[in-house]
Amino acid sequence: LLTPFTPHLCEEIWEKMDGEGFVAFAEWPNEAPEFVRKDAEELENIIQTVIEDLQKITRVTGIKPKEIHFYTSDGWKWKIYQQAIDLKKEGNLDVGSLIRQAFKDEENKTRVDLIPQFCRMIVE
């Protein structure tokens, strides 16, 4: 994957690995599903949106902050959000199905008072 950017180094490494021919002509590696994060694109979009929002806010307000603090939600909320995305892709997203899915996780059974309200907020 680095060959287009560092061809000489990659050829040296390829030779040490006993690769056949030139690495520049070798087949590209196949995607290994176990290493693909289905949420990576969504995470990248969230980060990009936060950066753009921050740039707009500083431009509009004229403030040049010395430091910026970002606060994120609890991990259980992120898991439920991911479950909502999956249910939406399947065409099965509604409040009831999201709540049922969320309570399949044992950790969420201690959050009986929080989860239904959070699921309603996501679906609406």
Per-residue three-class SS string for 1-28 = CCCCCCHHHHHHHHHHCCCCCCHHHCCC
C-beta of residue 26 within 8 angstroms of C-beta of residue 19: yes
Q: pLDDT tens digits for 50-85?
A: 999 999 999 999 999 999 999 888 999 999 999 999
C-beta of residue 56 within 8 angstroms of C-beta of residue 84: no
Give the C-alpha separation, 79 to 83, whole Å: 6
* Percent of the chain clearing pLDDT 90 (strictly above): 71
Tell me the two tokens of residue 42. 């969504």
Q: Residue 31 above 90 pLDDT? A: no
- Tell me what pLDDT residue 90 has: 93
C-beta of residue 98 within 8 angstroms of C-beta of residue 83: yes
Tell me the two tokens of residue 51. 């950066």
Over the chain, what is the mean pLDDT?
Answer: 91
Tell me the two tokens of residue 104. 């399949």
- Tell me what pLDDT residue 112 has: 93
Q: What is the DSSP string of 31-74?
A: P-GGG--TTHHHHHHHHHHHHHHHHHHHHHH----S--------
| pTM exceeding 0.85 | no
Give the C-alpha separation, 57 to 51, whole Å: 10
